Structure 1
Amino acid sequence: MNAGISIHVVDVATGKVAEGLALSIERLTGTNRELICAGQIAANGLFAELSEHSAVFESGHYEVSLDVADFYRAQGQQLPRVPFLDVLVYRFGLDDTQQHYHLPFKLTAWGLSCFRGGA
């Protein structure tokens, strides 16, 4: 597996990939934020836009933002006016840019699980 980042998202409430879930990834440097890419989860559950940006990942801190409430509302799920998870922000760090960092999100409208895979 190549160095860089990959993201896979599964809606564990339905047992299906979260196709259409909007997300973005940003690099954090001091007080600055740089958008790396934005898009949607594909039919295979992957955030395909990341493959085009593997060369830009440097050692440092990053944030993935997942539009959880919008995704579930688009699926027809009734959520409270103020959803428990709205835009989920997941901050993580890259140390060794020669390694691959895989982020497998397991998601519901009420919680999530994620760990570092792909080492």
Structure 2
Amino acid sequence: MTGYLTTHVLDTARGCPAEGLKIELFKIDGDSRTHLKTLVTNDDGRTDEQILPSDKFEVGMYELVFHAGAYLDATGTPPEAPRFLDVIPLRFGMSEASHYHVPLLLSAFGYSTYRGS
């Protein structure tokens, strides 16, 4: 089996996929953080391509950065100064060559994640 990484972002306050949310992927190596890719979610709250496809997959530590504040602004969620949630970094490890799915359930005042399938 080859490894790869995907995500899915759901706006739990609005009850729909989070379309147009910018996501960045970083590889973490000790104190070093290397930007690998920037993607935007589609109308289903997913990216049009795998975040980390099998030909680029390596075990190790990674970070997904979800730009929630800009998404909330774009959807007309009433703004605060400053927003409670703006940029959400999720740091996680991938220890084997398999499918890693890291979804984000998002609202203006909270979020949750898990390793999905």
SS at 2:54 equivalent: helix
Percent identity reads 33
Aligned positions, number: 117
Give the TM-score, by structure 2 length: 0.91
Give the corresponding residue for 2:57: 57
Distance 1:47 1:33, change over 3 A: same
Give the TM-score, by structure 1 length: 0.89
Structure whose residues are more often helix by fraction: 1
What is the CA deviation profile of residues 77-107 of structure 1, one whole-angstrom value per residue up to 9, with x for unaligned ones? 112111111100011000002x101112111
What is the CA deviation profile of residues 11-44 of structure 1, one whole-angstrom value per residue up to 9, with x for unaligned ones? 0111110000111111011222222210210112
Work out whether 1:32 is the aligned partner of 2:46: no
Matches of 1:51 and 1:112, distance apart in 2: 20
Partner amino acid, structure 2, of 1:57: F
Gaps in structure 2 of 5+ consecutive residues = none
Gaps in structure 1 of 5+ consecutive residues = none
Give the corresponding residue for 1:69: 69
Q: CA RMSD in A?
A: 1.7
Give the corresponding residue for 1:21: 21
Indicate conservation of the 8 Å contact 2:3/2:53, yes or no: no
Indicate conservation of the 8 Å contact 2:12/2:107, yes or no: yes
Matches of 2:113 and 2:57, distance apart in 1: 20
Give the corresponding residue for 1:48: 48
Deviates more, 1:80-89 or 1:47-56: 47-56
Give the corresponding residue for 1:4: 4
Matches of 1:59 and 1:39, distance apart in 2: 21
